[in-house]
Amino acid sequence: MNDHINLFLKSLLDRENSLNKTSYALEWIRDQNEMVEVKVSQIPFYKLKNWKLTEEKLHHESGKFFSIDGIDVKTNAGNVHHWQQPIINQPEIGYLGFITKEFNGVLHFLMQAKIEPGNINYVQLSPSLQATRSNYSRVHKGNAPAYLEYFQNATKEEILLDQLQSEQGARFLKKRNRNIIIKIEKEIEVLENFLWLTLAQIKELMRYDNVINMDTRTVISGIPLGDFSLESIEVIRTMSNICFTKYTEALLRSSSYEAQSYNSLNDVILFITNQKCNYDLEVQKMPLSDLKDWVIGENSIHHKDRKYFEIIAADIKIGNREVINWSQPMVRPVQEGICAFICKSINGVLHFIVQAKLECGNFDVIEFAPTVQCLTDNYRTEYSLGALPFLKEVLNAKPENIIFDTFQSEEGGRFYREQNKSMVIFADEGFPIELPENYIWMTYSQMQTFMKHNNYVNIQARSLLSALTFDL
Work out the number of other CB atoms within 10 angstroms of the CB of residue 447: 22
**What separation in angstroms does the CA of 175 have from each of 2, 166, 287, 375, 376?**
31, 6, 20, 18, 19
Q: Domain 3-35+91-222, what architecture?
A: Alpha-Beta Complex (3.90)
- Cα 335 to the chain's mean position, in Å? 19
Q: Region 409-435: what's the mean pLDDT? A: 95
CA distance 403 to 271: 28
Q: Region 80-95: what's the mean pLDDT? A: 93
**What separation in angstroms does the CA of 191 have from each of 188, 258, 320, 456?**
9, 43, 12, 36
Q: What is the pLDDT of residues 120-134, one digit of tens each?
A: 888 999 999 998 776
The pLDDT of residue 232 is 63
DSSP 3-state percent helix, strand, coil across the chain (nearest 5):
25, 35, 40
Q: Region 280-299: what's the mean pLDDT? A: 97
Is the predicted pLDDT of residue 248 greater than 80, yes or no?
Answer: yes
User: Could you tell me if 335 and 376 are in contact, meaning their C-beta atoms sit under 8 angstroms apart?
Assistant: yes
Q: Radius of gyration over alpha carbons of the chain, in Å?
A: 22
Q: Do domains 3-35+91-222 and 238-280+336-466 have the same CATH topology?
A: yes
Q: Which amino acid is located at 18 in the chain?
A: S
- Is the model more confident about 35 or about 241? 35
User: Could you tell me if 365 and 281 are in contact, meaning their C-beta atoms sit under 8 angstroms apart?
Assistant: yes
Q: pTM score, two decimals?
A: 0.94
CATH class of 238-280+336-466: alpha beta
Is the predicted pLDDT of residue 189 greater than 80, yes or no?
Answer: yes
pLDDT band at 321 (very low <50, low <70, confident <90, very high): low
Q: Region 219-235: what's the mean pLDDT? A: 78
The pLDDT of residue 303 is 96
CA distance 268 to 450: 10
Lowest mean pLDDT among 187-201, 215-229, 312-326: 312-326
Is the predicted pLDDT of residue 259 greater than 80, yes or no?
Answer: yes
The pLDDT of residue 1 is 47
Work out the number of other CB atoms within 10 angstroms of the CB of residue 399: 6
Is the predicted pLDDT of residue 206 greater than 90, yes or no?
Answer: yes
CA distance 32 to 319: 11
378-386, Cβ contacts within 8 angstroms, sequence gap of 24 or more: 378/335, 378/336, 379/336, 379/337, 379/338
Tell me the domain boundaries of the chain: 3-35+91-222, 40-87+286-333, 238-280+336-466
- Is the model more confident about 323 or about 117? 117
CA distance 137 to 132: 8
